Every structure is written in C-alpha cells, then in structure tokens.
C-alpha cells in the first residue's frame, strides 16, 4: 500500500501490511465464498425428475438377415449395435455378390419371402419351393473374411459357407450369391461416415442396417400414412425393430429431430 493508506491504518490501530499480503487475504476470502457456494449446491436436495409415459412398446422385431423376414420376439437386449436376442443380432447377416457388394430386396425382391426360425444355436431358412436350410450361428474362425461394400462404405463379413451360398443362388436364380456374417470384433460403419454433416449425432457403429442401430415406428404414424394412400400398407413394409402405440403420429420422428438426443428412430421410408 501507499504511505497514505498505511497512515490511515495506523490511525485505526491496525498495522500496515504489504500490498501482496492484502491481495492474498482477499483471494482466500473469495475462495471461501466459492467453496461455500459449491457445498450449498451439493447439499441442496435435488428435484426429482417426473417420469411421463409417452408410449407403449407393442411389438419387437429382429431381422437377422438383411432384407429377409423378421422374427417377432417377446424380449430383447438393446446394445450399441442394435437389438440382440440370445446369440442372434439384428441385421448381422447379409447377402452379397461374389465381389462383396450388398444385395437387398431393392435388387432381389424375393428375399423378403425368406423366413427365419431361431432355435438353439441355429438359424433355419425357408423359402417358396425350397427345402429348409439350417445355418449355424457360430461360424468356424477359418471361414474366409470378405471385403464387402454397403452403400459406398467398406465393411467386413465372414463367409457362411458354400451350402447356404448355393441355396441362395438356387432360390434367386439370377447370379451366384454368398452369405456373410458380421462379427463384433470387426469394424462397423460409423456415424461420422454415414452422416458427415450431422455433427450433433453420437458416434455409434452399425453392422448391416441402412443407418441407425434401432428402427422405431409408431402405430399412429402408419394410420396417418394410410389415410393418405389409396393402396394401404402394413407395418411389415417398414421393417421396424420397435413398434410403439399410445402416442401421436410421427412423435418418434419429432423426438429424433427436435431433441437430437436419440438415434432410436429413422424417418426414412423403408429399411431393408
């Protein structure tokens, strides 16, 4: 402090202090106030969040093979890469050409007629005019790994063997096909590559779905859509994982676009 300040302190009976000492005392005081504020905030009782029901899950579907029929399940586990029921995961199998390019019902519509039954550690494939094909879920590690191509992005897939490849080729009758299976040790397609301009999305990975890990649609959305169509469509056309009842039409899309906090839905028309 200056001499005037020291004289004033002396008149009050207080000893004069160097400037640095008083600054230190002031800093300690401010720190005490800050710590007291933090402590008060921590001990203040937190307001409980009120849960509000926004809908009811009415159906759950898993589609083991991309573009083939879905399997209705009573319960499922939500994972980072989609739904899982036991050892079977959603869209972890995919039909490919011999060069590894994906094949969906967009190219081969008859794929949607291939039904799948889950039993123990096997998938049973059935199709019109075809004998059932039994496929083990767990593949030998010696099976070839293919470099596949899905909507312009590279992804791996383990070959499921010659028997199921011949079965698919005989059924579709257009060209040779293979069936590949994704493994969690493989690198999935990421959000950053799927949506490079959407910076707000979380960086998740998917195997063979078109985009998001889980596809959700409400029954009200389907009713609204059919009110505008001459030829009605069923829920199976959209191939959802989760069907929700008890909410307004397109509420699942509003939750995705407005809150930007979930990737549980995708507003595109059809997932194959």
The residue among 121 and 46 whose pLDDT is bigger is: 121
Q: Which of the four pLDDT bands, split at 50, 70 and 90, describes residue 168?
A: very high
The pLDDT tens digits of the residues spanning 73-87 come to 999 999 999 999 999
CB atoms within 10 A of CB 105: 18
**Structure-block tokens of residue 88:** 């079977």
Q: Is 142 exposed, middle or buried (0-12, 13-18, 19+ CB in 10 A)?
A: exposed
Q: Is the pLDDT score of 114 beyond 90?
A: yes
Q: Is the pLDDT score of 257 beyond 90?
A: no
The residue among 112 and 1 whose pLDDT is bigger is: 112
The pTM (predicted TM-score) of the whole model is: 0.74
Task: Give the H/E segment covering residue 48.
Answer: none
Beta strand ranges found along 33-139 (DSSP E): 56-62, 71-72, 77-79, 82-85, 88-89, 93-97, 102-103, 115-119, 122-126, 133-136
The pLDDT tens digits of the residues spanning 32-57 come to 444 444 444 555 556 667 888 888 99
Predicted pLDDT of residue 193: 83
Cα(161)–Cα(270) distance, rounded to whole angstroms? 29
DSSP-assigned states of every residue in 165-201: HHHHHHHH-SS-EEEEE--TTS--EEHHHH-TT-TTS
Q: Is the pLDDT score of 151 beyond 70?
A: yes
The pLDDT tens digits of the residues spanning 24-34 come to 444 444 444 44
Predicted pLDDT of residue 156: 97
Cα-Cα-Cα-Cα dihedral sign, residues 244, 95, 81, 206: negative
**DSSP class of residue 31?**
H
The pLDDT tens digits of the residues spanning 208-242 come to 998 889 999 999 999 999 999 999 999 999 999 99
Q: Taking the domains of the chain in order of start, what are their residue ranges?
A: 56-259
Q: Is the pLDDT score of 152 beyond 50?
A: yes
27 and 215 Cβ atoms separated by less than 8 Å: no
Residues 6+ apart with CB under 8 A from 105: 67, 111, 112, 272
């Amino acid at each position: 402090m200056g001499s005037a300040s020291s004289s004033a302190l002396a008149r009050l009976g207080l000893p004069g202090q160097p400037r640095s000492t008083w600054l230190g005392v002031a800093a300690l005081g401010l720190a005490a106030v800050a710590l007291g504020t933090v402590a008060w905030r921590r001990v203040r009782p937190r307001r409980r969040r009120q849960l509000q029901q926004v809908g009811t899950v009415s159906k759950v579907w898993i589609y083991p093979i991309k573009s083939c029929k879905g399997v209705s399940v009573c319960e499922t586990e939500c994972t980072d890469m989609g739904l899982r029921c036991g050892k079977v995961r959603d869209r972890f199998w995919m039909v490919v050409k011999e060069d590894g390019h994906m094949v969906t019902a967009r190219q081969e519509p008859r794929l949607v007629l291939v039904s799948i039954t889950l039993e123990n550690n096997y998938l049973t494939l059935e199709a019109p005019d075809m004998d059932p094909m039994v496929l083990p879920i767990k593949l030998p590690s010696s099976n070839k790994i293919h470099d596949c191509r899905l909507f312009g992005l590279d992804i791996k897939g383990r070959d499921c063997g010659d028997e199921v490849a011949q079965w698919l080729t005989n059924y579709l009758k257009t060209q040779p096909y293979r069936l590949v299976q994704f493994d969690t040790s493989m690198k999935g397609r990421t959000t950053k590559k799927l949506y490079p301009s959407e910076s707000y999305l979380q960086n998740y990975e998917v195997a063979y779905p078109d985009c998001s890990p889980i596809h959700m649609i409400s029954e009200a959305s389907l009713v609204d859509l059919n009110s505008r169509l001459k030829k009605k469509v069923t829920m199976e056309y959209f191939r959802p994982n989760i069907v929700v009842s008890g909410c307004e039409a397109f509420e699942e899309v509003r939750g995705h676009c407005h809150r930007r906090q979930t990737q549980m839905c995708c507003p595109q028309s059809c997932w194959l």
